[in-house]
Amino acid sequence: MNAKNLSRLAIYAVLGVAVFFFLAPLYVMLVTSFKDAEQLRSGNLLSLPQGLNLESWQLAWSSACTGVDCRGLKPYFMNSVLMAVPAVLISTAWGAVNGYVLSMWKFRGSEVLFGFLLFGVFMPFQVVLLPMSQVLGYLGLSSSIAGLVLVHCLAGMAGTTLFFRNYYTAIPRELVNAARMDGAGFWRIFVRIVVPMSTPILMVTLIWQFTNIWNDFLFGVAFSGADSKPVTVGLNNMANTTTGVKAYNVDMAAAIIAGLPTMLVYVLAGQYFVKGLTAGAVKG
Amino acid sequence: MKSFENLLPKLVVAPGFVLGFAFIYGLMIWNGVLSVTGSRMLPNYDEFVGLEQYARLWDMDRWYVALKNLGLFSVLYVGGSMALGMLLAIFLDQKIRGEGVLRTIYLYPMALSFIVTGTAWKWILNPSLGLEKLMHDIGWTSFSFDWLVQSDTAIYCVVIAGIWQSAGFAMALFLAGLRGIDDSIIKAAQIDGASLPRIYWRIILPILRPVVFSTILVLSHLSIKAFDLVMALTAGGPGYASDVPATFMFTMSFTRGQIGLGAASATMMLAFVAALVVPYLYSELRSKPHEH
């Protein structure tokens, strides 16, 4: 049985090395954020900070400079909150209604419509950037958070519809048919029967949308103005500011702050996030 | 009343679908229109130039650099993420203690923005203070690592960070596939005297083919869309050495005042993704009726 023990050991060793590989950047971010400028120069990536120096966190949050703007990451973080919350709620509700119709109230051509909608999940959004910025201009929403909310709702709708449609397809038709026999209408069935059964897919969709929208950079950088930049754009600008000495400790603190909301969601509700990942990929 | 009830579902989804299709296909066509105009700083629909922007595009050294980088990045990123993901999935499937914790650790980068992880990797790969200094401190004084600032190696830094981000995703997909395989298949093969590596290579992998296929599809289309990671790590630099089509499109459209050219490059990106995804979507939708 020695060979077997040996191979078990090898398996655990490989998995352990992988743990190191995946956690190392997080560790580096954390220890770097607690160092001061002197320790940045004298220490190395893995060396521990001397004490918990919170200065770079404070700088990153409220006074680090991006160009001439020295308000830290805070305003960008708030913009992201103001953008993500309505966009997540609207796109999820929209997807739920669409999915409900496409699974339980199929009509002639609805499958074809769904197929064409699916391409929206995969399309490169570069294709909508230029026309959309003109549309936002016509609507008076250029460089505004409302404009970003609108874009995220439109861009996310195909994905949320896919999630709900696939989930509702698995609900037994008899349930809906029985309710229809009893005289329940379209909305009544939705509110009384379908929505109460939707908690798992609701969680998956909310978390999926939140992660996507919070982490978005493309729309943020293309459509936002000075006062509506989301946190990813703020972080990128801060990290790429070339004036003065590069403050990697502040950059790392800022990066952790920007990543904290999605990280928290992942730790608290990871299984829903994983379901969203695999559902979006496997079930086309 | 009856006919209204029949009509209601359609009425409810119609406005949303019109908006959604306008967003997806309407803007797609609009972008196509822009690409046959001579638009520069501002869209200019009066100046029709035919396919001139496409001719310019395919005549640009920078576009070829972007395509070459995309090819390199796609192959290494998709291949690397799948190889590492498959290895981890197979090892995790050996009744490992603490599997849940390990899975959580391997997958957490997927929850983070590429900008967040790109910022971290930029520091780690910093030519003088990052990995290089660490190796010097450990005692390997001749170690030198300046890939991030060298024209011919910067794109490999993007590959490293990309694989780190996505390997856990591939692992999750493969693991889900492995869990769907009946244990008795492995047991039967073991009784026949086949070794475990052989069983995985000859029996399990072929069963996983659909999962492998859709993972390749998803990762490749992600690689074509890769934008954030490149922007955060190298911003396409040094010069335009690590440009990819996504950063090319953005630079031309929003900083260089070449809207027509930017639109043409976006159309090319659309064509790449469509060539990959449309056959897949078509077969998925066609095969559905047989499943039920």
Does some domain include residue A65? no
Does some domain include residue A58? no
Q: What distances in angstroms separate CA A150 from CA A160, A217, A233, B20, B250, one per listed residue?
A: 15, 15, 18, 11, 21
Torsion on CA atoms A214, B242, B165, B208, rounded to nearest 10: 120
- For residue A21, what is the nearest residue in chain B, using CA coordinates? B164
Residue A223 contacts B where some CB pair is shorter than 8 Å: no
pLDDT value, residue A282: 47
Q: Give the mean model confidence (pLDDT) for residues A207-226.
A: 93
Percent of chain A with pLDDT over 70: 96
Q: Are residues A83 and A177 in the same domain?
A: yes
Q: Are residues A122 and A259 in the same domain?
A: yes
Chain B CB contacts of A21 below 8 Å? 164
pLDDT value, residue B290: 43
A40 contacts B8? CB cut-off 8 A: no
**Band (A280; pLDDT cuts 50, 70, 90):** low
Residue ranges covered by each domain of chain B = 61-291
- Return the closest-CA partner of residue A232 out of B245, B114, B234, B158: B114
Q: Are residues A44 and A135 in the same domain?
A: no
For residue range A259-278, list pLDDT tens digits in order.
999 999 998 988 888 888 77
First and final C-alpha spacing in chain B: 33
Buried b (16+ CB within 10 A) or exposed e, A242-276: eeeebbbbbbbbbbbbbbebbbebbeeebebbbbb
Does some domain include residue A28? yes
Asked which of A165-174, B132-141, B260-269 is least confident by mean pLDDT, the reply is B132-141
Chain A CB contacts of B45 below 8 Å? none
Q: pTM for the full model?
A: 0.91
Structural domain for A200, as ranges? 74-242+253-282
CATH number at residue A99: 1.10.3720.10
Q: Are residues A170 and A228 in the same domain?
A: yes
- Average pLDDT of the residues of chain B: 88
Q: Are residues A92 and A47 in the same domain?
A: no
> B61-291 has which CATH code?
1.10.3720.10
Distance from CA of A175 to the nearest CA of B (A): 18
Task: Please report how many Cα atoms fall inside a 13 Å half-sphere around the Cα of residue B78, on the Cβ side.
Answer: 21
Higher pLDDT: A216 or B281? It is A216
In degrees rounded to 5, what are phi and psi of residue A69?
A: -90, 115
Q: Give the mean model confidence (pLDDT) for residues A50-65.
A: 84
**For residue A284, is pLDDT > 50?**
no
Radius of gyration of chain B (CA): 24
pLDDT value, residue B45: 87
For residue range B12-27, list pLDDT tens digits in order.
889 999 999 999 999 9
For testing contact with chain B, the best of A42, A46, A123, A273 (most B CBs within 10 A): A123
